[in-house]
């Protein structure tokens, strides 16, 4: 018995990189997989790789920043395979620029694909899980994986669109974990570091020297992401995990750094007096 035997999964951006590795891992774990990507041939290729290995898979081609794409890929999973257990929101792009050079299109593209793209599929998956929970009279169960980035967790000059989107995606994990808990659905996020089509042109062999490429492979990220999506990692939910090859880290929401209380209403003088305890060094 494998981890996802009889289960059904959807992976966005499954036509390459980390998403393809996740789709293949889920299939090895026993799941039927719906592979979304806006590169139709790439999505079809991943689905064919799964079928050639004896698994079940179909492609659902579309731009994940669009509402209808999210709806269609969830409907496809239900129509084709009759259930939904796992959604991995992985699709992403990168348009790095300093804010002074960043265009409206750079901003809208990155926010659309990462942030709205993580929302649309999850929204329609949540509607399904809610209906199933009502029908069964008990939590149906399931897992959502969101894909954030250490850039979103720590910040990175030159990437303000990506930082804003990925920070939002991490926040979605902690909040959606609470919203979807009544349906028995766990929501966790992973921040990858992998030698892929997105990162290779930017960082090349500086971050990915030959001897690190296996440890920093999309397949290694997929192992961690699919473990988080598998029943064996229950009851973990609302967790944000960064992958740095052999080192993993888990993160807290923004920790409180300092605190100050007003004796009455705030004034500039009261704020001057409070700054030491509000911003401890």
Ligand X SMILES: NC(=O)c1ccc[n+]([C@@H]2O[C@H](COP(=O)([O-])OP(=O)(O)OC[C@H]3O[C@@H](n4cnc5c(N)ncnc54)[C@H](O)[C@@H]3O)[C@@H](O)[C@H]2O)c1
Residues contacting residue 218 through CB under 8 Å, at least 6 positions apart = 17, 18, 20, 21, 22, 192, 194, 195, 196
Q: Which stretch binds ligand X (CB under 6 A): 24-32, 71-79, 197-205, 254-262?
A: 197-205
User: 89: how many CB neighbours lie within 10 A of its CB?
Assistant: 31
To ligand X, the closest distance from the beta carbon of 95 in angstroms equals 11
Q: Which stretch binds ligand X (CB under 6 A): 50-58, 170-178, 192-200, 263-271?
A: 192-200
Nearer to ligand X, 15 or 168 (CB): 15
Residues 174/131, Cβ–Cβ less than 8 Å: no
The residues assigned a catalytic role are: 149, 162, 166
Q: Say whether residue 121 binds ligand X (CB under 6 A).
A: no
What is the C-alpha separation between 38 and 69, in angstroms, rounded?
9
Q: Say whether residue 63 binds ligand X (CB under 6 A).
A: yes
Q: For ligand X, which residue of 27, 32, 192, 222 counts as binding (CB under 6 A)? A: 192
Q: Which stretch binds ligand X (CB under 6 A): 15-23, 232-240, 249-257, 265-273?
A: 15-23
Q: For ligand X, which residue of 25, 65, 161, 217 counts as binding (CB under 6 A)? A: 65
What is the C-alpha separation between 63 and 12, in angstroms, rounded?
9
Residues 90/19, Cβ–Cβ less than 8 Å: yes
Q: Which stretch binds ligand X (CB under 6 A): 76-84, 196-204, 227-235, 263-271?
A: 196-204
Nearer to ligand X, 66 or 270 (CB): 66
Residue 279: how many CA atoms within 13 Å on its side-chain side? 4
Q: Say whether residue 38 binds ligand X (CB under 6 A).
A: yes
Q: For ligand X, which residue of 18, 33, 59, 226 counts as binding (CB under 6 A)? A: 18
What mask of x and - would describe binding to ligand X in positions 201 to 240, judged by CB under 6 A?
-----------------x----------------------
Q: For ligand X, which residue of 17, 55, 70, 142 counts as binding (CB under 6 A)? A: 17
Q: Say whether residue 118 binds ligand X (CB under 6 A).
A: no
Q: Is 184 helix (H, G, I), strand (E, B) or coil?
A: coil
Residues 153/111, Cβ–Cβ less than 8 Å: no
Q: What is the gyration radius of the CA atoms in the chain, in angstroms?
A: 20
> Sheet of 32-37: strands edge to edge?
57-61, 32-37, 8-11, 86-89, 142-147, 185-191, 240-244, 247-251
**Contact set with ligand X (CB under 6 A):** 12-13, 15-19, 36-39, 42, 63-65, 90-93, 113, 147, 149, 191-194, 196-199, 218
């Amino acid at each position: 018995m494998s981890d996802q035997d009889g289960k059904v999964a959807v992976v966005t951006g499954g036509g390459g990189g980390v998403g393809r590795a996740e789709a293949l891992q889920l299939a090895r774990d026993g799941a039927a997989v719906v592979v979304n990507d806006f590169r139709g041939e790439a999505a079809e290729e991943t689905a064919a790789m799964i079928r050639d290995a004896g698994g079940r898979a179909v492609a659902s081609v579309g731009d994940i920043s669009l509402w209808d794409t999210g709806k269609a890929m969830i409907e496809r999973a239900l129509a084709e395979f009759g259930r939904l257990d796992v959604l991995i929101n992985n699709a992403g792009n990168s348009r790095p620029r300093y804010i002074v050079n960043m265009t409206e299109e750079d901003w809208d593209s990155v926010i659309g694909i990462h942030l709205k793209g993580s929302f649309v599929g999850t929204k329609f998956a949540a509607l399904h899980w809610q209906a199933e929970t009502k029908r069964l009279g008990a939590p149906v169960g399931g897992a959502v994986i969101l894909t954030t980035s250490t850039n979103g967790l720590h910040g990175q000059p030159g990437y303000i669109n990506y930082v804003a989107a990925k920070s939002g995606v991490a926040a979605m994990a902690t909040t959606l974990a609470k919203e979807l808990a009544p349906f028995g659905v766990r929501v966790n996020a992973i921040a990858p570091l992998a030698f892929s089509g997105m990162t290779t042109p930017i960082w090349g062999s500086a971050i990915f020297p030959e001897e690190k490429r296996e440890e920093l492979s999309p397949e290694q990220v997929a192992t961690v992401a699919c473990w988080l999506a598998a029943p064996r990692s229950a009851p973990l939910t609302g967790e944000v995990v960064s992958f740095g090859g052999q080192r993993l880290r888990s993160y807290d929401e923004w920790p409180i750094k300092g605190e100050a209380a007003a004796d009455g209403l705030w004034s500039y003088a009261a704020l001057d007096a409070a700054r030491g305890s509000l911003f401890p060094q």
